[in-house]
Structure 1
Amino acid sequence: MSQHPAGIPRRTALSATVATAVVGVPALASTASAAPAAASTGRGAGDRPVTAQSPDRELRELLKEIDRDRIEATVRRLAAFGTRHTLSSQDDPERGIGAARDWIHAELKRYAEASGGRMTVELQSYVQEPASRIPVATRITNVVATLRGSVDPGRIHVVSGHYDSRATDVMDAVSDAPGADDDASGVAVAMELARVMARRRPAATIVFAAVAGEEQGLYGAAHMAERFKAAGADVRAMFTNDIVGSSRADDGSRDPYTVRLFAEGVPTSETPEEAATRRSIGGENDSATRQLARFVRDVASNDATGMDVRVVYRRDRYLRGGDHIPFLERGYSAARFTEPAEDFAHQHQDVRVEDGQQYGDLPEFCDFGYIARVARVNGAVLWTLAQAPAAPRGVKIVTSSLTNSTELVWEPGTEPDLAGYEVVWRETTEPEWTHVIRAGGATSHTVDLSKDNVFFGVRAVNRAGHRGPVAFPVPQR
């Protein structure tokens, strides 16, 4: 039996040897099995996860084009509509949600002109019959720009913000509700990314959406998610940006270089049988959304974005929810970006002045440089997802016999530039992947480690060296 330098059998513990890292190296080995000594271990430079990917020149150039001043102009223009309440006027050209809708639509159409026909823009409308916070039948309209992928257009990634706003009274459709932070900031992120990416050719499809009805009950996002589901769309990731306008907390402290990412663990969309399987293998921290969150950390916490992504292992904050939830409920991987702490004195407050202090969700309380950095985080994630191979499908860990090694199998990817695969693993008590090993171009791989002791995953690599998200295996007997 092969031994560690300290004499510990490598089948029972992770290797203590740090070998050549495979991160950033497109070439892949073709061996059918490997031991931990062939893997990169621990963390990379700057305490980054070993699976981290450094941005290439193309991505760095894209992120440099994200314009803080344009983001500010977008936030101020949306706030200037007075209120964007879902129940406000839909036909007033200057005030209300209809005016905001028409302006967003016109802007996205203008961005699409630079795409050579690759980007299309639509008004996605339906009539919501009376329901919670909707007292009368109300037309709800999402504004959606779709940048079609040039290689794998059926694989879809969505980024959104909600353009409706509210005052303190959620049913008040008349009072001013500028909604600069909540959520003109998130809409500005999605729109700025649409502007920057319209001139480019992503391999997979990216959808940029401004949705309505969020404050009344996530209605617009639910309609969009249901349309995707009904069409059988292959939505691989959805991110909502909701309250990403400021790094200031209600005690005045600031954290300008952190953004939170809320990521659900055990999916509520799972069947009882799927949930039982997850519990039996200890996969509570390995949902597709959690793998997506790890991927976000891998590609977006770096010098190119200027940000650290703080992953929070929750669906959302207490007492509240965002537009990622309807996607989660329909079985899609989805997560929420939001600022590191919230200033509740200015959120959902009617515009007023008390003792010389102005209150309300106003542009003056936004940090536009911060929003631009959040946009870079989103841009790094979406572009890498679109350029990299998809997470492998059908990943299984073979459990048909008792053995102290681990065999993984998966379905072959269909990307034309697919170079091969990598196997990752970590101790069951570790939150992030700590080891990665080349697995070649085959669709099976054996590692000389006991499947009982660690968690495994598989990710695909293309010829440019882009790695996709990790897929977590289920048992195959």
Structure 2
Amino acid sequence: MCLSAGILLSTSAFAQSGAPNTQVKYNDQQVLHDIADAISASNIEQDISTLVSFGTRHTLSETESETRGIGAARRWIKAEFDKISADCGGCLEVFYQSEVISGERRIPDPVEVVSVIAIQKGTSDPNRYVLMSGDIDSRVSDVMNFTDDSPGANDNASGVAGTLEAARVLSKYKFNGSIVYAALAGEEQGLFGGRILADYAKANNWQLKAVLNNDMIGNIEGVNGVIDNTSARIFAEGTRHIETDDEARRRRFTGGEVDSPSRNLARYIDMMADRYIDNLDTMVVYRLDRFGRGGHHRPFNDLGYPGVRIMETNENYNRQHQDLRTEGGIVYGDTIDGVDFDYAAKLTALNAVSLASMAWAPKPPTKVEISGAVQPSTTLKWSELDPEENPQLKGYKIYWRYTDAPQWQFSRYVGKVSEFTLENIVIDNYFFGVASVSNDGFESPVVYPGAAGAFGE
């Protein structure tokens, strides 16, 4: 009798999960393998070496010299983006973006903070953007010391070099959505470059669906003694900073704390690592950034945009924000010999395939809603995407997972509809979401129902 009851329970659980026919399946995209393979560690090494050669890239440093300081560095970065654009027939819009900052703790006197931006416009949905960034500036122990050498090889010439290399590779393709490559300034002095670009995106009504901030992607030897070139971290905040009181009250009863758009963006990138990047496992960290610290994705998160930080797993604090010196037998300083270029290329490839996949996919679904309380089934609804902006749209795919599962476990393609009921899948037992799917099988990130998970309209 007990055995029979056990069999009945197991069968019921099996049916509830939807297994095996609803286990998550993805279409393998050969072009994404090609993009990953095209990323060059040699190019990244050369670019980091050039950035280091400017001596210091401190935000307050020299701007007139052609060989030293932040001015020379940003002019070189712009020239590289211009060269990439020339090679693709002018496919990039390259420009400086600046604002004079003053009266700040780390910028007391007026300083022009200048970032370099390159935009590859989409063919059918040019106002939908995904963005990759790295930080131009560097620093030593004293954050106000703008004269001493500050190589900033890993922090963060690696992120800028990765952004340049992603642009070189992706500019050879055309995408439905737009891709932004950003070399942001003023990070060490207060995240100013990110704030300026985020404000620009909002003022120009960008539909910014993803910000991939790359800050230190080249170190494999941690201060803890661990040497690891097979893992990386993706930091992603939970509940949106801009959530209203009404939205918080609803979330209390419906969930969404771990399904913000930033978290589902991180899950998307984690999935791309598993499928397209050899020998790389990504750790999704449920936190805005490292404990008590910050990065250039934060200004975008502050305005409600989905954004994550991609970086190495094991940091070496002897090489971060340090004067160049040897002390107590320990060598301090962020020099180029501390960068593993193959590893930086691996993380750059992860960015490139994620950007490409999202830019080729249709826009993430909007106005996703869910119902099913005190019912045996769950119904999801969403708005139909604009066919002119999304001519590649094939249909939609519903995802679900157990509430304590980190990644989506089950899915069902439901076609080009705007409502679907999952029969005998009880709403109480799972988290749900919807992705859009292209004719070629590219998918958007999964969108959790309600304001908690919305990627914006």
My pick for the range that moved more, 276-285 or 10-19, is: 10-19
RMSD (Å) for aligned C-alpha atoms = 2.0
How many Å separate the matches in 2 of 1:108 and 1:417? 29
Q: TM-score, normalised by structure 1?
A: 0.89
How many Å separate the matches in 1 of 2:331 and 2:383? 58
Structure 2 counterparts to residues 19-58 of structure 1, below 5 A: 19-20=20-21, 39-40=22-23, 50=24, 54=28, 56-58=29-31
2:238 to 247, 265, 277: 265
1:408 to 380, 387, 391: 380
3-state SS of the aligned residue for 2:383?
A: coil
Q: Is the 8 A contact 2:33 2:276 kept in 1?
A: no
Structure 2 counterparts to residues 210-249 of structure 1, below 5 A: 210-249=183-222
2:43 to 59, 62, 70: 70
Taking structure 1 as reference, are residues 223 and 175 closer, same or farther at Cα in structure 2, changes over 3 Å only?
Answer: same
| Structure 2 alignment gaps of length 5 or more | 452-457
Structure 2 counterparts to residues 145-224 of structure 1, below 5 A: 145-224=118-197
Q: Does 1:420 align with 2:395?
A: yes
Q: Is the 8 A contact 1:247 1:370 kept in 2?
A: yes
How many Å separate the matches in 2 of 1:292 and 1:162? 21
Aligned to 1:32: none
How many Å separate the matches in 1 of 2:166 and 2:13? 47
How many Å separate the matches in 1 of 2:405 and 2:125? 34
3-state SS of the aligned residue for 1:361?
A: coil
Q: Is the 8 A contact 1:11 1:450 kept in 2?
A: no
1:253 to 202, 226, 244: 226
Q: Is the 8 A contact 1:12 1:450 kept in 2?
A: no
Q: Is the 8 A contact 1:427 1:453 kept in 2?
A: yes
Matching residue's letter, 1:379 = A
Percent pairwise identity: 38
How many Å separate the matches in 2 of 1:113 and 1:270? 43
Aligned to 1:7: 8
Structure 2 counterparts to residues 136-147 of structure 1, below 5 A: 136-147=109-120
Taking structure 1 as reference, are residues 396 and 12 closer, same or farther at Cα in structure 2, changes over 3 Å only?
Answer: farther
Q: Is the 8 A contact 1:426 1:435 kept in 2?
A: yes
Aligned to 1:474: 450
1:439 to 380, 397, 414: 414
How many Å separate the matches in 2 of 1:136 and 1:60? 48
Q: Measure how far apart 1:353 and its partner are.
A: 3.2
Aligned to 1:324: 297
3-state SS of the aligned residue for 2:209?
A: strand
Matching residue's letter, 2:383 = E
Q: Measure how far apart 1:14 and its partner are.
A: 5.3
Q: Is the 8 A contact 1:248 1:342 kept in 2?
A: yes
Aligned to 1:451: 427
Matching residue's letter, 1:433 = W
Q: Is the 8 A contact 2:18 2:410 kept in 1?
A: no
How many Å separate the matches in 1 of 2:110 and 2:216? 28
Q: Measure how far apart 1:347 and its partner are.
A: 1.1
3-state SS of the aligned residue for 1:311?
A: strand
Q: Does 1:396 align with 2:372?
A: no
Q: Which of the pair is proportionally richer in helix? A: 2
Matching residue's letter, 2:253 = S
Aligned to 1:130: 103
How many Å separate the matches in 1 of 2:275 and 2:13? 34
Q: Is the 8 A contact 1:12 1:453 kept in 2?
A: no
Taking structure 1 as reference, are residues 452 and 13 closer, same or farther at Cα in structure 2, changes over 3 Å only?
Answer: farther
Aligned to 2:455: none
Q: Is the 8 A contact 1:206 1:382 kept in 2?
A: yes
3-state SS of the aligned residue for 1:394?
A: strand
Aligned to 2:310: 337
Matching residue's letter, 2:377 = S
| Structure 1 alignment gaps of length 5 or more | 21-38, 41-49
Matching residue's letter, 1:112 = S
Matching residue's letter, 1:427 = Y
User: What is the count of residue pairs matched by the alignment?
Assistant: 443
Taking structure 1 as reference, are residues 309 and 93 closer, same or farther at Cα in structure 2, changes over 3 Å only?
Answer: same
1:296 to 251, 269, 283: 269
Aligned to 1:108: 81
Q: Measure how far apart 1:244 and its partner are.
A: 1.0
Q: Measure how far apart 1:252 and its partner are.
A: 2.6
Q: Is the 8 A contact 1:406 1:451 kept in 2?
A: yes
Q: Measure how far apart 1:251 and its partner are.
A: 2.9
Deviation string, structure 1 residues 273-323 (Cα, Å, up to 9, x no partner): 112222221211111111111111112223544311111011001131000
Deviation string, structure 1 residues 125-145 (Cα, Å, up to 9, x no partner): 111122120010100011001
Q: Is the 8 A contact 2:318 2:331 kept in 1?
A: no
1:429 to 404, 407, 411: 404
Instruction: Give the 4+ runs in structure 1 shifted more than 6 A.
Output: 9-13
How many Å separate the matches in 1 of 2:421 and 2:342? 47
Deviation string, structure 1 residues 435-458 (Cα, Å, up to 9, x no partner): 111212110000122212211111
Taking structure 1 as reference, are residues 6 and 374 closer, same or farther at Cα in structure 2, changes over 3 Å only?
Answer: same
Q: Is the 8 A contact 1:268 1:328 kept in 2?
A: yes
Q: Is the 8 A contact 2:27 2:441 kept in 1?
A: no
Q: Is the 8 A contact 1:307 1:377 kept in 2?
A: no
Q: Is the 8 A contact 1:150 1:201 kept in 2?
A: yes
Q: Is the 8 A contact 1:51 1:433 kept in 2?
A: no
Q: Is the 8 A contact 2:56 2:68 kept in 1?
A: yes
Deviation string, structure 1 residues 171-214 (Cα, Å, up to 9, x no partner): 10111111001000000110100111122112210000101100
Taking structure 1 as reference, are residues 383 and 303 closer, same or farther at Cα in structure 2, changes over 3 Å only?
Answer: closer
3-state SS of the aligned residue for 1:452?
A: helix
